[in-house]
Amino acid sequence: MSTGEHKQLISGLVDEVWNQHHAAAIDRYFGPHLREEVAGHYRQLLGGFPDLQVTIEDDLIAEGDLVMARLTLTGTHTGPFAGRDASGRLVRWSSIRIYRIADHQVVQTWAMQDRLGLLQQLGALPELEPVNWAGGRRAGDGSGRS
């Protein structure tokens, strides 16, 4: 498969599995050793956020057999999730995911997700003081940095 075909595969996966909520598509997009793990993740997410939608931000990046996706997940917390009863809150969190593709299926995946932000939106954790990691000034601090 070409990198373009790899990107099309991941776009289809996101749309069919996560946006159209077709659980049966997991078998088509994921290798046999990942299917049960992905199905469990699917049940957990859609159990808590039945209206879940996943947006691919910008473009997918592909190199060799890897595809990287920057994702935004949005859903209404209407079912149990992470030990929390439904709150009715609309939440939004980000994820960066890397997929390894072989034989037209995802055979490995890694993810970094904003779980802290998600849990704060659900009311499971307190909001924290913002930190400016880039070294710029915060409004009203008088530092003159920008």
pLDDT at 143: 47
- Asked if 52 contacts 75 with a C-beta cutoff of 8 angstroms, the reply is yes
Span of 20-34, 85-99, 120-134 with lowest mean pLDDT: 120-134
For the chain, the domains span 3-121
Band the pLDDT of 126: cuts 50, 70, 90.
confident
Band the pLDDT of 134: cuts 50, 70, 90.
confident
Q: Which residues contact residue 55 at a Cβ distance below 8 angstroms, ignoring those fewer than 6 apart? A: 71, 72, 73, 74
Band the pLDDT of 127: cuts 50, 70, 90.
confident
| Rounded Cα distance, 127 and 45, in Å | 22
pLDDT at 12: 98
- Asked if 98 contacts 107 with a C-beta cutoff of 8 angstroms, the reply is no
pLDDT at 99: 98
Backbone φ and ψ for 36, nearest 5 degrees, come out as: -65, -40
Q: What is the mean pLDDT of residues 86-104?
A: 97
| Rounded Cα distance, 146 and 143, in Å | 9
Backbone Cα Rg of the chain: 18
Antiparallel, parallel or unpaired: β 90-102 and 105-113? antiparallel
115 pLDDT above the threshold of 60? yes
pLDDT at 144: 46
How many other C-beta atoms can be found within 10 angstroms of the C-beta atom of residue 146? 6
Q: What is the pTM of this model?
A: 0.84
| Rounded Cα distance, 30 and 16, in Å | 13
pLDDT at 146: 43
pLDDT at 98: 98
pLDDT at 137: 54
In whole numbers, what is the pLDDT of the chain averaged over residues?
91
113 CB-side CA count, 13 A: 12
| Rounded Cα distance, 101 and 90, in Å | 33
Classify domain 3-121 at the CATH topology level. Answer: Nuclear Transport Factor 2; Chain: A, (3.10.450)
